Chains A and B, each alone.
Chain A
Amino acid sequence: MTKTVVDSRGTACPGPITDLIRAYRKSANGDIIELLATDPGVRADSKAWCERTNNELISLEEKNGVFTVEIRISGKKG
């Protein structure tokens, strides 16, 4: 299991989700991706993305305008 921090702070939609998808391609089931973003759209997008791809949204917090989204990769087949 590895944890990858993806820093998308300062990027606008679709920056955070683009960075998440790129990190997802390199990840394996059990890995954690921590996505940092300042675009508020990341809240809805990360939830919807986890639902669509069967990955687990562990937490989604906002502090001082920075969203921290923690996702456990669990949706990959095999």
Chain B
Amino acid sequence: MKALIRAAFLLFSVLFAGVSMAQHEGHDHGSDDASHQATEAVEAAEHAAHDGHATEKFNPGEMIMGHVTDEHGWHLWGHTSIPLPIIIYNTERGLSLFSSAHFDHGHKTYAGYFLHEGKILATDAPDGTDVHHATENEALTAATWDVSITKNVLGMLVSIALMLIIFLSVAAGYRKRGVGAPKGLQSFIEPIILFVRDDVAKANIGPKYERFMPFLLTVFFFILINNLMGLIPIFPFGANVSGSISVTFALAAITFVLTLIHGNRHYWGHIIAMPGVPKPVLLILTPVEILGVFLRPAILMIRLFANITAGHIIVLSFFALIFIFGEINAGLGWGVSVFSLAFTIFMSMLELLVAFIQAFVFTFLSAMYLGAAIEEPHHH
């Protein structure tokens, strides 16, 4: 177990480095005007090539980010994608509800909106205008609230349905058989539930662990199932739900709010004024500890996001290699594909492990923070 954990940690650091670089590249994209104009020129050229049915240059960055980030509509292959409902509330225009197919893969305007790099922008251009001729109405964009059912939202709904199917059947099993020998799915899930109870909740929270069990179990299985679903590349799986920073933000925020609510006098006493520490040192320590209260959930958020997204990026990079070499020479592409496939299989095996470890780490650390918040003082 020790060796396993150590290996896993090594992996985390490697993966973390990878994703921070990828993020950096993504941010640089629109930062300065020159590069922005250059990108626009490239886009226009690509568009022209596309219209003329000329061969498109393979763009690995675009392919990878397209798979890893959220989108309006679910891309399947080539130019085939499943349209998803667009739900927009605009404080000026009111509610709009239509299918993402109207955007024609982001090429056309509809109902006064268009897609630009995955974001919905408002415009005054009439329906069906080419996006390259549509200008953004910035005031209206600022008044726009996009609550669409996106790829990630749909993926999350599927995972919730899956969780309901699993756990309602497990619950039915207990209702029927009581605490006797479990059967079927129940016997697979029971050890995991006991693992979360004994090694996560009891170990970190102590005798009052029971009231946090619903939260810890839900978080654990939600992350685990979404991690595993993200590894299956076929619709309706494969959305990068647990690798979406919005999702991990929400999960970490729940842990954060719970520690704030349940934090007792002892917990806050140790943060505001650590007993046994001289006053001048407290001048530095107290701000640091208050900062720590916010930093801990922030790190919880980043860790899950970075590890899962990095896993997706690595697998997609191996696939991108095939096409990069294939553009040089078709035979070379075929040759590389053998190695790419082998590495992808290896990485997928590793990701299976990471899927479990990350769910465990998130739940374990949440339990640890909750345990620290409700800990009663020891009387010496």
The answer to whether A and B come from one shared complex is: no
* Residue positions of B touching A, CB distance < 8 A: none
